[in-house]
Amino acid sequence: MTPESPLSAPAPQRKRYVRAVGPRLRLVLYLIFGLFAVLGANSVYLASVSLLGWIRDASYENYFYQYMFLAHLILGLGLILPVVVFGIVHLLNARDRPNRRAVRVGYVLFAVSLVLLVTGVALMRVGNLKLTHPTLRSVTYWAHVIAPLPAGAQ
């Protein structure tokens, strides 16, 4: 046996391509898209009623509004697990991709999603877990309202 010369060395094996979003993860993504779409429409309704009440200096928060607010809470809580699972799995799959801009945008989008979810949970008043300091509550509220804007721009 003679040592192989550099010219006859076998070509390095290419890394096996793994999709960043596989078939099972795609189902989770579709669930997230659907929940965010319904939650977005719900948010537009809630914001419209609140804005109208602020403009006319009257309250339009009736029984239906309260049910819509409850739906907002339920949908938001229902998004926590799918968003976190999808975000972690997707980032692990995509972190070494050559398109670095897409990877950075993914990190930003996941961070914005986490801000949205954390501020939403922080605004809930459950038992003794209440955010009662007016300034902190206001900052948290506006972070929750503004957080979807950069996500939509991506």
Query: Is the per-residue pLDDT at 22 higher than 90?
Result: no
Residues 62 and 110 in one domain: no
Residues 75 and 104 in one domain: no
Classify residue 13: in a domain, yes or no.
no
Range of the domain at 123: 95-154
| Per-residue pLDDT at 81 | 96
| Per-residue pLDDT at 153 | 65
- pLDDT, tens only, 86-106: 999 999 888 888 888 888 988
Classify residue 86: in a domain, yes or no.
no
Confidence band (pLDDT; 50, 70, 90) for 43? very high
- Which tokens in the block code for residue 114? 């986490």
- Structural domains in the chain (count): 2
Average pLDDT over residues 1-19: 67
The label of the residue with tokens 């009736």 reads: 62
The model's pTM: 0.79
Classify residue 16: in a domain, yes or no.
no
Residues 75 and 100 in one domain: no
Taking CA atoms, 84 is separated from 20, 51, 87, in Å, by 16, 31, 5
The label of the residue with tokens 């300091």 reads: 133
Query: Is the per-residue pLDDT at 2 higher than 80?
Result: no
Confidence band (pLDDT; 50, 70, 90) for 69? very high
Mean pLDDT (the chain) is: 88
Contact assessment for residue 35 and residue 82, using Cβ atoms and an 8 Å cutoff: yes
pLDDT-above-70 percentage for the chain: 90
Query: Is the per-residue pLDDT at 154 higher than 90?
Result: no
| Per-residue pLDDT at 21 | 84
| Per-residue pLDDT at 28 | 94
Classify residue 12: in a domain, yes or no.
no
Classify residue 135: in a domain, yes or no.
yes
Higher pLDDT, 23 or 3: 23
Average pLDDT over residues 101-127: 90
Amino acid at 142: W
Residues 33 and 74 in one domain: yes
Q: Is the dihedral of CA 45, 49, 50, 54 positive or negative?
A: positive
The SS3 of residue 112 is helix
Residues 106 and 72 in one domain: no
Identify any residues that bridge with 129 across adjacent strands, giving them in sequence order: 126
Confidence band (pLDDT; 50, 70, 90) for 6? low
Q: Calculate Rg over the CA atoms of the chain.
A: 23
